[in-house]
Amino acid sequence: MKKSLCVVGLGYIGLPTSVMFAIHGHKVHGVDVNHKAVEMINNKQLHIEEYGLQERLEEAVDAGMFEASLEPAEADVFVIAVPSPIREDKTANLDYVRKATEAIVPFVKKGNLVILESTVPPRTVEDVMVPVLEQTGLDIGEDVYVSHSPERVIPGKVFQELVDNDRIVGGINEQSSVLTKELYESFVKGNIHLTDATTAEMAKVIENTYRDVNIAFANELALISDKIGVNSWEAIKLANFHPRVNIHTPGPGVGGHCIAVDPWFLAEIEPDLSKIIQLSRNTNDNMPVYTAEQIQKLTKEQFINDPKVALFGLSFKANIDDQRESPSLKVILELVEKGISFTTYDPHIKENVASNQTQSMDEALDGADILVILTDHDEFKTLDPEYIKGKMKNRLVFDTKNALSLNEWKQAGFVAKRLGDSKNG
């Protein structure tokens, strides 16, 4: 049975989810506080980058199944997909979730379903959302159903994973879970696993914390390898041939709205019982510092005074424009702290949003002493070292993402170094 939906939050998760429901027959009213984003969406223009989103947005709007607004509206189902960031003190900021829930209260009627998709600390549904929804005067669990169904997608593959990935649904009671499952079955082909709301919250945080801890392990291996003259990338690749080993890859840090944030939810809840989690977070948070130190070290080793650095890649992940918690931005701050001059370039970010950013690759390279790859965009993997060397003042390259064939760059006369591989020095 087709439903009317009100989706609060039209960002990297809310907008793709909205159009997905819309093109599968549900009437969707999207809500966002960003005036420009709402206007662009209604004009079938994108304010975020995601593969396959443009054509699906056009289909949904042209069919009259999706519209964006600054205010909520009555619906059968309310989906909340707003940010859940951390504060400076590493505690969860649930203001967006709370305010979004408050915003829908005047529109919630008997028989409605409210779904939280945002990744949140365990017990957010029970302790934050339910008390707010009780302001409707309706019996929560009998008149209004509430559940948590956390998004489990990765930028760049959102639509593929919305369909194919298994989904977790946790209701405050069985009926809430069943109704949520029936709704997502309109497009989800993966298995839908039912549980309670708090377990669903915990499961999503566990997923992202596992990856953060694994990446921290990889980064420690990279740091050790740099000290003892080993190629950590090759060693990790070989270790992963073992059927019970799956080590992630090192890099200049961890970014994104989930992996760099969610582990702190567990650390906040039980600080004395989350030592490995906190150590992993600190290890990954220190990688931008290490990266900046390596840039300074490499230029000094080549007797380059007052170096100019060309930083390639500002998004936290390849082939997208998402800069949330991007380690590249933290590397920039470290270079500023050290007084090192730089230019920044990212072909996926069309507006200048970072320090000394340019939309021209040639301008970024002009007079540069060292090229630093911070994001492994496909465009960077095919860079021609013969062309690049004609643009730079000195021929030095530092690849933090294993995006380049360093032998090719060495043949072109570059001094080439890979993070976690001192053999390339």
Averaged pLDDT for residues 379-389: 96
Q: How confident is the model at residue 355 (pLDDT cuts 50, 70, 90)?
A: confident
Mean pLDDT of the chain: 96
Would you state the pLDDT for residue 296? 97
Q: What is the arithmetic mean of pLDDT over 308-322?
A: 95
User: Among the options 6, 181, 258, 317, which is catalytic?
Assistant: 258
What percent of the chain lies above the pLDDT cut of 90?
95
pLDDT higher than threshold 60 for residue 425:
no
- Helices 197-228 and 275-301: angle between axes, nearest 10 degrees: 30
- The H or E element that residue 372 is part of is strand 370-373
Average pLDDT over residues 30-43: 97
Report the alpha-carbon distance of residue 279 to residue 334 in Å, rounded: 21
Q: Give the pLDDT band (50/70/90) at residue 11.
A: very high
pLDDT for 169-178, tens place per residue? 999 999 999 9
Look up residue 175 and give its two tokens. 């009926």
**CATH no. of 229-418:** 3.40.50.720
CATH superfamily of 4-196: NAD(P)-binding Rossmann-like Domain (3.40.50.720)
pLDDT tens, 122-148? 999 999 999 999 999 999 999 999 999
Q: Please determine, for residue 419, whether its predicted confidence score (pLDDT) is greater than 90.
A: yes
Residue 186 has a pLDDT of 96
Q: Say if residues 93 and 86 touch (Cβ distance below 8 Å).
A: yes
Nearest to 152 by CA among 141, 139, 162: 162
Mean pLDDT of 210-227: 97
Which residue, among 372, 367, 368, 369, has the nearest Cα to 383 in the 3D structure? 372
Find tokens 């990765």 and name the residue. Answer: 154
Q: pTM higher than 0.85 for the full model?
A: yes
Range 202-206 average pLDDT? 97
Mean pLDDT of 95-107: 98
Distance CA 393, CA 282 (A): 36
Tokens (6 digits) for 250: 């090192």
Contact criterion met (CB below 8 Å) for 315 and 348: yes
The strand pair at 370-373 and 341-345 is best described as: unpaired
The one catalytic residue in 204, 317, 330, 401 is 204
Asked if pLDDT for residue 422 goes beyond 90, the answer is no
∠ at Cα 35 (316, 4), nearest 5°?
A: 90
pLDDT digits (tens, 9 = 90+) for 248-296: 999 999 998 889 999 999 999 999 999 999 999 999 999 999 999 999 9
Contact yes or no for 8/81 (Cβ under 8 A): yes
181 part of the active site: no
Q: What are the backbone dihedrals phi and psi of residue 58, each rounded to the nearest 5 degrees, phi first?
A: -60, -45
Instruction: Kindly tell me the burial class for residue 281, based on how many C-beta atoms sit within 10 Å of its own C-beta (0-12, 13-18, 19 or more).
Output: buried
**Which two tokens mark 54?**
């443009």
The beta-carbon contacts of 256-259 under 8 Å, at least 24 apart in sequence, are 256/155, 256/316, 256/317, 256/322, 256/324, 256/325, 257/12, 257/83, 257/85, 257/119, 257/322, 257/324, 257/325, 258/119, 258/208, 259/208, 259/211, 259/212, 259/215
Q: Is pLDDT above 60 for 109?
A: yes
Quick check: is 6 catalytic?
Answer: no
How far, in Å, CA of 14 to CA of 92, rounded? 20
Q: Which of 93, 124, 107, 53 is nearest to 320 (CA)?
A: 53
In the structure, what pLDDT confidence band is assigned to residue 424 with cuts at 50, 70 and 90?
low
Question: Within the chain, which residue ranges are assigned CATH 3.40.50.720?
Answer: 4-196, 229-418
